[in-house]
Amino acid sequence: MLYNALMELTNPLIQIKKGALEFCVLALIARGESYGYEIVKVLDEEGLTTPEGTVYPLLARLQKEALVTSSWRQMGEGNPRKYYQITRKGEAALALFREHWKEFVNTVDLILEGGTQNDG
């Protein structure tokens, strides 16, 4: 059997448990195209401090999964930047994640609270 690859697509919880950060970055790109160095800073401002050594490989992964595209661009005089744009597939994946995220938070909340009489 081909667990690894299939499970990734089948069980959203695996994605959630592993890749909350992945979709946070995707969500940032969804706001409008952005580049690695900026994303690192915005994540920090938003309270989700993450080093470059995590973000850059993550961006490469997103692109490999075709959730984003990228294009080098030279803005003014600074260093060239690799801008990332979200794709249709990326938007779909993000939308799906938002739903799974809500469910996941709900589930964890219930477990954390003790869930004695808490229903629905």
Partner DNA sequence: GCATAATGCATTGCTATGCAAGGTAAATTT
Partner DNA sequence: AAATTTACCTTGCATAGCAATGCATTATGC
**Residue 110 makes contact with a second copy by CB under 8 A:** yes
**Residue 21 makes contact with a second copy by CB under 8 A:** yes
Which of a second copy, DNA, none is residue 62 near (CB under 5 to 8 Å by kind)?
A: none
Burial of 54 from C-beta contacts in 10 A (0-12 / 13-18 / 19+): middle
Contact of 36 with 52, CB cutoff 8 Å: yes
**Residue 112 makes contact with a second copy by CB under 8 A:** yes
Nearer to a second copy, 48 or 75 (CB): 48
**Residue 3 makes contact with DNA by CB under 7 A:** yes
Site for DNA in 45-84 (CB under 7 A): 50-54, 56-61, 75-79, 81-82
Burial of 26 from C-beta contacts in 10 A (0-12 / 13-18 / 19+): buried
Distances (CA, A) of 110 to 33, 46, 105: 36, 26, 8
DSSP string, 24-66: HHHHHHHHS-EEHHHHHHHHHHHT----HHHHHHHHHHHHHTT
| Coil, helix or strand at residue 84 | strand
Which of a second copy, DNA, none is residue 90 near (CB under 5 to 8 Å by kind)?
A: none
Kindly list the residues in this chain that would bind DNA in the complex (CB under 7 A): 1, 3-5, 7, 11, 13-14, 17-22, 35-38, 50-54, 56-61, 75-79, 81-82
Kindly list the residues in this chain that would bind a second copy in the complex (CB under 8 A): 11, 13, 17, 20-21, 23-24, 27-28, 30-31, 46-49, 94, 97-98, 101, 103, 105, 107-108, 110-112, 114-115
